Amino acid sequence: MTKVTSWPMYFCRGYLFHTYDYAKDKKNANYEVCVKSASSCGSTEHDFYRVLREILEIHFPGPGGLKLCF
């Protein structure tokens, strides 16, 4: 049985992320995300910018206790 948890903020690999609804009225907002693209075969790079609306953490059952956050 997989368990899903929703968070208003999340700390991962030294970075703290907030959802837009959580941080919109705060002095320091960290709800924008940028994903850098990798160019292949000389194609033009396109970066992906978005506002973080929801943070989901998925817990997978089993002895490993695996988690995925997106």
Taking only the tens place, the pLDDT of each residue in 24-64 is 888 877 788 877 777 666 556 777 788 889 988 888 887 77
Where would I find the H helices in 1-70? 20-23
The residue among 65, 39, 35, 56 whose CA lies nearest residue 47 is 35
pTM for the model? 0.65
pLDDT of residue 40: 60
